Amino acid sequence: MNIPSHSNPITATALIATLVGSFNNANAAEVPASMPAPVAMLAAPPTAASYPPPLDESQIFSVYGHWDSELISNLKGGIRTGSAFDSVAVGGVTLRGDNLGLPDTLLNVSVMGIRTGHANANLVGDRLGTSNIEGSRDRFLLDTAFWQQNWLTRPGFRFNTRLGMFDLNSEFTSTGSAAQLLNGSFGPDPSMTGNFTASTFPLNGTGLVATLDNGTGKNEPTGFAPLTVKIGLLQGESNQQTQPFNQGTLNIVEGQWRPESGTTLKLGLWRKRGYGSQNLQGAYLSGEHTIFSQNETALGGFIRASTVHSDTANNLVINRYLGAGINWQAPFAGRPDDFLTLGIGEARFHQDQRHERLVELAYIFQINHRVFLQPDLQYINRPSGTLPTAWVATLRLHIE
């Protein structure tokens, strides 16, 4: 089974790419209505290459790209000690449809190249995924291709849709404060990715998502939306991209509540129909809150929980997950764009009730506005529930 890596908030709450070429609109910058309200952090940190690019309506036409590479070493435990190298490059185009006679429309297409060193599969054996940019094999593929339309933008009632190929985690299940952690459990819901090949990195599937919120303005962040409801029909399994709904379907609904800027609660329900494989249904809950924000520093926390049930007995791999963590921006004076993040997680395996527990500590060091260096250390207690406790060190380079 291919266990996808966490495509880390990337809902669209955090930027993963800086535009490298664009033709700017003369109007003020706008953010698409489908994007959730920003957490009250002072800056957007870089995120892993496993997320779709952000959409920025302030550009009429934009070309973007980013590259992530990492050296990952299993220092102790797991399958065996050793090191491997992973790399992911993404490039794409976003087109605003207003000048084409398509008002309130965004069109996007991107491609991705993956070079994988199989560190998790050959060295660590972590069921949750030690790295969120480790693919199943080396490949070059279509990453995203979708049409996003804002249908209604009335104050207090906004409605939009997204149709095409995209990452499930760009619309559902994401937790923004966990964006900097590398372990796959801090991205898409592990109760999904641990049991079927959901539409997320490294192979996105096709789907339709409808979003309704009660924002007060045409676009966020000027129109903050306390309540949001998302309903999706997506490709069930993403083993291949050419016949999307021959691999089952995933029905999902998510409700979001933001009582204030910096606080988000999410509740999601989903059902995956098998078309020859098992039928699954599950639920997830997440919350994040900015504890304080002052001058150049901010501290936020998050918590996540999920569960899954199968119509067929003993067919589940993971049936429950719990996670939590804190994210500290500017932990040191004079470094306003650095981030220190601590995360903990636990997955329970269905058949033998064994557990895998992990602790991850990551620091993002900004070299300049386009280059970031991230050392990361993970302690994984009993990878896959049976292997010796592993210590995994990673050094990642992110270039925008």
CATH number, position 117: 2.40.160.180
Q: With respect to residue 189, please indicate whether it lies within any of the assigned structural domains.
A: yes
Q: Which domain holds residue 238?
A: 19-399
Assign 63 a pLDDT band (cuts: 50, 70, 90). Answer: confident
Task: Please determine, for residue 137, whether its predicted confidence score (pLDDT) is greater than 70.
Answer: yes
Q: Which of 194-198, 236-240, 299-303 has the highest mean pLDDT?
A: 299-303
Q: With respect to residue 9, please indicate whether it lies within any of the assigned structural domains.
A: no
Task: Please determine, for residue 272, whether its predicted confidence score (pLDDT) is greater than 80.
Answer: yes
For the chain, the average pLDDT equals 83
User: Tell me, what's the pLDDT at 51?
Assistant: 52
Task: Please determine, for residue 369, whether its predicted confidence score (pLDDT) is greater than 70.
Answer: yes
What number is the average pLDDT over the span 332-356?
89
User: Tell me, what's the pLDDT at 218?
Assistant: 54
Q: With respect to residue 60, please indicate whether it lies within any of the assigned structural domains.
A: yes
Task: Please determine, for residue 213, whether its predicted confidence score (pLDDT) is greater than 70.
Answer: yes
Q: With respect to residue 13, please indicate whether it lies within any of the assigned structural domains.
A: no
Is the torsion defined by CA of 396, 184, 166, 242 positive or negative?
A: positive
Q: With respect to residue 322, please indicate whether it lies within any of the assigned structural domains.
A: yes
Assign 27 a pLDDT band (cuts: 50, 70, 90). Answer: very low
User: Tell me, what's the pLDDT at 16?
Assistant: 31
Task: Please determine, for residue 131, whether its predicted confidence score (pLDDT) is greater than 80.
Answer: yes
Task: Please determine, for residue 324, whether its predicted confidence score (pLDDT) is greater than 90.
Answer: yes
pLDDT tens-digit map of 77-123:
999 999 999 999 999 888 888 878 888 898 989 999 999 999 999 99
Q: What is the pTM of this model?
A: 0.83
Q: With respect to residue 6, please indicate whether it lies within any of the assigned structural domains.
A: no
Q: With respect to residue 8, please indicate whether it lies within any of the assigned structural domains.
A: no
User: Tell me, what's the pLDDT at 356?
Assistant: 92
Q: What's the structural domain count of the chain?
A: 1
Q: With respect to residue 290, please indicate whether it lies within any of the assigned structural domains.
A: yes
